[in-house]
């Protein structure tokens, strides 16, 4: 979740504007498995996730083998079709029970008048995600994935899913701003198998990494890098990549709720 997401933005609003955001949007609660929209649906509203996990699956996914994208607390989706008055091109469904803040197109004029900074925030979020897409490598067949960047520009969920979708073997390294190693995870065919975060190892390390707030530093993923030898008492990571992500996000949401 980006450090300056919707919830951070709301803390910057004066009370009158914060009340306007609540009055000009609505909250929807959906159970796990519920469909939010399908390809071909009209784009009349967009959503910000308050709690839970949403899966976005492109219309062409079944034909091209494209992987789903998973969104969590603070993520925005569905806004492009609303702004362009186009039809949905993705299937969006709840992978966990979700709470969504919904913004309908018919309220945009009043929202712009009462909370003018909201649309600046929306444009900044769109620009941030466009920058991530443009910076991400496009991989022809047989080409190896090489990723690097700063945690200020890429959130951990995006980094993790990029590696999982690539189905490649290699090592993700995360370093502090001073260059010292902070975390490292080895992936085999896109599945995390071993890793550490600070003094933690295995699945607990991955969960705590997602719990960490305001991580700073750099990351890199080198495909083909060999797995370092782990002491025998360090637990391996056995669960599937998506299950690990679901659990990590659920733990993060529950921790934030507390």
Q: Are 69 and 76 in contact (CB under 8 A)?
A: no
Classify strands 90-94 and 54-58 as parallel, antiparallel or unpaired: antiparallel
Q: Are 247 and 207 in contact (CB under 8 A)?
A: yes
Supply the pTM of this predicted model.
0.64
Residue 224 · residue 170 · CB < 8 Å: yes
| Total residue count of the chain as it appears in this document | 258
Phi, psi dihedrals of residue 230, rounded to the nearest 5°: -105, 140
d(CA 88, CA 91): 8
Report which secondary-structure segment, H or E, holds 94: strand 90-94
Distance, in Å, from the CA atom of 96 to the CA atom of 49, rounded to the nearest integer, reads 12
Question: Of 154, 252, 238, 149, which is closest to residue 192 (Cα–Cα)?
Answer: 238
Give the whole-angstrom CA distance, residue 81 versus residue 52: 22
CA–CA separation, 175 and 197 (whole Å): 10
CB atoms within 10 A of CB 242: 17
Q: At what angle do helices 241-257 and 156-166 cross, to 10 degrees?
A: 170
Please tell me the number of Cα atoms within 13 Å of 240 on its side-chain side: 4
Q: What are phi and psi of 39, to 5 degrees?
A: -55, 135
Cα(192)–Cα(171) distance, integer angstroms: 9
Alpha carbon separation from 115 to 25, 120, 239 (Å, rounded): 12, 10, 44
- What pLDDT, on the 0 to 100 scale, is given for residue 223? 80
Extract the tokens encoding 158: 């995006």
Q: In which residue ranges of the chain is pLDDT below 50?
A: 1-3, 62-65, 139-142
Q: What is the pLDDT of residue 8?
A: 84
């Amino acid at each position: 979740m980006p450090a300056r997401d919707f919830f951070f933005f709301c803390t910057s609003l004066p009370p009158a504007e914060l009340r306007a955001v609540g009055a000009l949007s609505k909250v929807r609660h959906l159970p796990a498995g519920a469909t939010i929209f399908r390809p071909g649906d009209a784009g009349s509203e967009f959503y910000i996730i308050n709690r839970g996990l949403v899966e976005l699956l492109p219309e062409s996914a079944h034909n091209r083998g494209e992987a789903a994208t998973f969104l969590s607390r603070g993520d925005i989706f569905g806004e492009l079709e609303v702004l362009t008055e186009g039809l949905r091109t993705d299937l969006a469904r709840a992978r966990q029970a979700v709470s969504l803040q919904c913004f309908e197109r018919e309220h945009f004029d009043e929202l712009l008048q009462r909370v003018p900074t909201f649309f600046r925030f929306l444009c900044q979020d769109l620009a941030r995600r466009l920058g991530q897409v443009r910076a991400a490598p496009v991989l022809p067949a047989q080409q190896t994935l090489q990723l690097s960047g700063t945690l200020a520009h890429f959130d951990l969920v995006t980094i993790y899913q990029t590696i999982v979708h690539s189905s490649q073997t290699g090592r993700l390294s995360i370093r502090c701003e001073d260059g010292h190693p902070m975390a490292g995870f080895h992936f085999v065919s896109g599945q995390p198998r071993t890793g550490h975060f600070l003094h933690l190892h295995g699945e607990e390390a991955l969960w705590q990494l997602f719990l960490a707030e305001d991580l700073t530093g750099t990351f890199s993923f080198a495909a083909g890098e060999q797995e370092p030898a782990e002491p025998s008492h360090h637990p391996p990571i056995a669960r599937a990549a998506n299950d690990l992500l679901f659990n990590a996000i659920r733990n993060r949401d529950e921790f934030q709720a507390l």
